[in-house]
Structure 1
Amino acid sequence: MKFRLYTIFSMALMCYSGSAVSQSQPLSLSDAIRIGLERNYDIIIERSNVQVAENNNAWGEAGRYPTVTLNLNQNNSLTDNVKTASPFQLQDQTISSSLNPGVNLNWTLFNGFKINISKSRLQELQSESQGNADIVIANTLQSIILGYYKAVLEKRRLVEFERQLKLSGDKYSYTKVKSELGSAVSTDLFLEEGNYLTDSTNYINQQLVYRNAMRDLNVMLAETNVDKKYNFTDDLLYEEENYQLEDLLTKLNSKNVDLKKQYISQQLIIYNRGLARADRYPTVTLNSGYSHNRSRVDLSNATFPGQDGTSSPGPTEALNAITDNYFANFTIAFTLFNGGKINRAIQNTVIQEDIANITTQRLKTSLYRDLAQAYDQYQIRKQLYGITVRKQDVADTNLSISEEKFKNGSINSFDHRTVQNNSLSAALEELQAVYNLIDSKVSLMRLTGGIIETYTE
């Protein structure tokens, strides 16, 4: 009965693994990055912000061009003079209407170089928006790469747990046969059954960890089906890089996206100071235009009083009038005093520049520290990887030897289990060491600005 339970349970585990592979689609790291760059929500939002900044980066937005407006007024009135104060005033009803189309032009000819400064500032705002997008892209790339290899790591761990489970199952089956032949005691059989059940539990738990890793990757790729399964075509591989800290520092100073964005923010504050100083200059504006006035007065229902006390009716035909008006006016405005607002605005921008300089220096110090830590971490992890490789080789060799010793009775089940667990731990440590190296390498690429160049070209 116990042997049947082992067989049925093993088949169920194997069928689950086979169905998971058959229902998955191939996915390489380059495909994951391409999908993430196309569909990641944060990247889409930042790209839209860049488009807004590009639209605003125009001379018209800066105020170089005039504003032209078209006006059209149409007035109608009816006046009924029921009783007038003067006997000579027009009496009865007067109907009038007018149509007044016009074109006005307002143009700022000079405002203390604000137009040029504003255009340069709009250019920097566009660059700042692109810098924000680069930061989001770099962070997303780092998350996708590590998320991809995290899923690969958990899949490789699942394979190791499956190998451990198979070894435990074989030992349990072997001990079962020996027990039936009378060459093994019940305690050995119970021990192997417990080991097999423990490894089964570990294998099932690792399946959940693996599925969650794939779900996390699907979220990064903006995949609506978070349970979508993949067959990862890129494996965990260690590619040694001989980094030099001086070269990394040079790249950080010139290519780090966070630092580049901070420099742009500093430049924007300089433009703000220029805009504040521009208020000290006069403003010259031109206001010109043209208006056309057509009016019509209907006096057919009105009467004109005469000096002799009689009255006469108004003309039967309406009276029409046409007037054209052209104008061009120049205005010069100069702020003589406004309570010191201009000076305070300039002083505030100077203070903001000092704050930006301090912020930049603080960011540099923080980035230098992060780079030094990431560099040391990479060097240490290279050494640890070499140790884990040797450790796994020793553990695999020891496992092969202990298999023969266990079968010929040279070692007991407890010792063999210890060797088996050591082999599993060594395999898991090597996988983790490779992933840690990839994590350190990606961190160095993120800090030195190489992650965008490498994975977006």
Structure 2
Amino acid sequence: MIKTLFIVLSFTIHPPLQQPDTALTEAEAVAIALEKSFDIRLETYNMEIAKNNNTIGNAGYLPTVEATASTGRTIQNTELEFASGDSQARDGAKSTSTNAGLSLNWTIFDGLKMFATKERLDQIERSNEYILKSQVQNTVSDVLKAFYNAGLEQERLRLLKSNLELSEERVQISKDKYEIGKASKMEYLQAQVDFNTDQSAYVKQREVIAVRLYELQQIMGLSETTDSLKLAFSYDLNMILSRIQAEELALSQNPNLRSMEMAREVSILATKELERSRLPELDFNMGYNYAKSEAEAGFVLQNQSTGINYGLSARMTLFDGLNQSRQIQNAQIQAEYAQTSFERSKTVLLTSVRSAFLTYQNAVELAQLETQNLEVAEENVAIALERYRVGKSNPLEIREAQNNAVNAQIRHLEALNTAKIAEIELLRLTGEIVR
């Protein structure tokens, strides 16, 4: 067990089957995902909406100006008798009216509600920025994890192919020995059975790789996928953080936790808005009107007026069936809920950091142990093959040495891959995976 909580490690394995000019690197995979990921694009739209909503006009700072205009005509049969004794009668008398105006309404005091609204809109925009950042980090993390998991299966295929070649060589040796009478036919047939078993494992592994590559390309946002993609990678482990440092970074930088903190602030500000809506509201009103009417019958044949009006109006809700009190109580409960959710998320985050750190430490230790086993296992299979070639060992001995070598190599790769996945998770949790 690694006792110290401070790790400075550089442990590298360079797989031999990558071709740099044709293989996909992790940097290229991340770049493609950042450009094409549907999840990132969807969150970008939400952030743009929140940004568009965060204006002083939406908060209620600015006045509203309206323009109105209307015109109409009537045709009537009229009969009029005046006090003087005169009378007037007209069939189909036409009259027209035209009205136009501008009106301005400006809330100059609303109990300071508009300031709380603007703060709430600021927090919503910041929250969406953190949500987008969290999605970007999650996407990068998912791509890297899928990349290295596919790379692990790629390396597993290489090992199985090497093992298959060894089994093929063993078949040839046993055949030669059988033909000259130095081995039984059963030994020759057993070598063929083992070769067929290894060949079956190799074919199945190709299917596993194809699935992993499809998953990787789906996360990258590619619509056209291929199962022949080659990956160029190396297991470079460089976690230079103590557990305490990782926890501190997670609490200060994790974008998901920051977005929940913003959501808590939004709930508090929503309560302030409702509380301030109880105070009186003062509006300034101003308008300009134009009116003109013409009639073929009546007292006034033509009338035209223009003018400006202005004034102040105040209003205050005295009783609304206790609905405001109910809304404020619900908002306070929502704020408490957001606070509790935030505290819970902090606990979950710290637990995740500690678990990932422990996984990383153990995987690094296992990788170091398996490095020693590799040398022994590879030397053992070489000796066993040579002993079998000269007739000093039996098929069981070489088969066991062969399986031990493959298993040791796979355990070594799996330990490195586990450490790399844990490192990626730690970088995501601490907010360091994308800076």
* Equivalent AA in structure 2 for residue 126 of structure 1: E
Q: Is the 8 A contact 1:292 1:325 kept in 2?
A: yes
Q: Which residue of 1 aligns with 2:65?
A: 68
Unmatched 5+ residue regions in structure 1?
1-19, 305-317
2:109 is the counterpart of 1:110: yes
1:106-154 Cα offsets, whole Å, 9 max, x none, are 2111111111111111111101111211221121111100111111111
1:84 deviates by: 6.6
SS state at 2:379 partner: helix
Identity across the alignment (%): 26
Match of 2:280 among 279, 282, 295: 282
Map residues 235-254 of structure 1 onto 2, 5 A cutoff.
235=234, 237-254=235-252
Q: Is the 8 A contact 2:18 2:231 kept in 1?
A: no
Name whichever of 198-207 and 223-232 sits farther off: 223-232
SS state at 1:112 partner: coil
Q: Is the 8 A contact 1:25 1:229 kept in 2?
A: no
1:69 deviates by: 1.3
2:158 is the counterpart of 1:159: yes
SS state at 1:91 partner: strand
- The structure number with the bigger radius of gyration is 1
Q: Is the 8 A contact 2:18 2:232 kept in 1?
A: no
Rounded to whole Å, the distance in 2 between the matches of 1:90 and 1:139 is: 85
1:298 deviates by: 3.1
Map residues 411-430 of structure 1 onto 2, 5 A cutoff.
411-430=393-412
Rounded to whole Å, the distance in 1 between the matches of 2:45 and 2:285 is: 37
Q: Which residue of 1 aligns with 2:185?
A: 186
Q: Which residue of 1 aligns with 2:9?
A: none
Q: Which residue of 2 aligns with 1:297?
A: 295
Q: Is the 8 A contact 2:209 2:227 kept in 1?
A: no
Name whichever of 37-46 and 351-360 sits farther off: 351-360
* Equivalent AA in structure 2 for residue 184 of structure 1: A
Map residues 249-260 of structure 1 onto 2, 5 A cutoff.
249-260=247-258
* Equivalent AA in structure 2 for residue 366 of structure 1: V
1:99 deviates by: 1.8
Rounded to whole Å, the distance in 2 between the matches of 1:156 and 1:330 is: 79
Q: Which residue of 2 aligns with 1:374?
A: 356
Unmatched 5+ residue regions in structure 2?
1-16
Rounded to whole Å, the distance in 1 between the matches of 2:43 and 2:374 is: 46
2:406 is the counterpart of 1:407: no
Match of 1:92 among 90, 93, 98: 90
Rounded to whole Å, the distance in 2 between the matches of 1:412 and 1:266 is: 71
1:160 deviates by: 0.4
Match of 2:323 among 320, 326, 341: 341
1:285 deviates by: 1.1
Rounded to whole Å, the distance in 1 between the matches of 2:154 and 2:287 is: 76
* Equivalent AA in structure 1 for residue 191 of structure 2: E
Return closer, same or farther for 1:376/1:271 CA change in 2, 3 Å cut-off: same
Aligned residue pairs: how many? 415
Match of 1:356 among 329, 334, 338: 338
Q: Is the 8 A contact 1:218 1:228 kept in 2?
A: no
2:76 is the counterpart of 1:79: yes
1:324 deviates by: 0.5
1:56 deviates by: 0.8
1:88 deviates by: 4.8
Rounded to whole Å, the distance in 2 between the matches of 1:371 and 1:213 is: 26
1:436 deviates by: 0.2
Rounded to whole Å, the distance in 2 between the matches of 1:400 and 1:217 is: 37
Q: Is the 8 A contact 2:210 2:227 kept in 1?
A: no
Map residues 305-316 of structure 1 onto 2, 5 A cutoff.
none
Q: Which residue of 1 aligns with 2:271?
A: 273
Match of 1:438 among 394, 404, 420: 420
Rounded to whole Å, the distance in 1 between the matches of 2:208 and 2:186 is: 33
Return closer, same or farther for 1:40/1:246 CA change in 2, 3 Å cut-off: same
* Equivalent AA in structure 2 for residue 52 of structure 1: I
1:163-187 Cα offsets, whole Å, 9 max, x none, are 0111111111222222222322110
| TM-score computed with the length of structure 2 as normaliser | 0.90
1:161-216 Cα offsets, whole Å, 9 max, x none, are 10011111111122222222232211011001101100110000000111111100
Of the two structures, which has the highest relative contact order with CA contacts closer than 8 Å and spacing of 6 or more?
Answer: 2
- Alignment RMSD, CA only? 2.2
Q: Is the 8 A contact 1:377 1:440 kept in 2?
A: yes
Rounded to whole Å, the distance in 2 between the matches of 1:124 and 1:331 is: 32
Rounded to whole Å, the distance in 2 between the matches of 1:343 and 1:353 is: 15
Rounded to whole Å, the distance in 1 between the matches of 2:318 and 2:279 is: 10
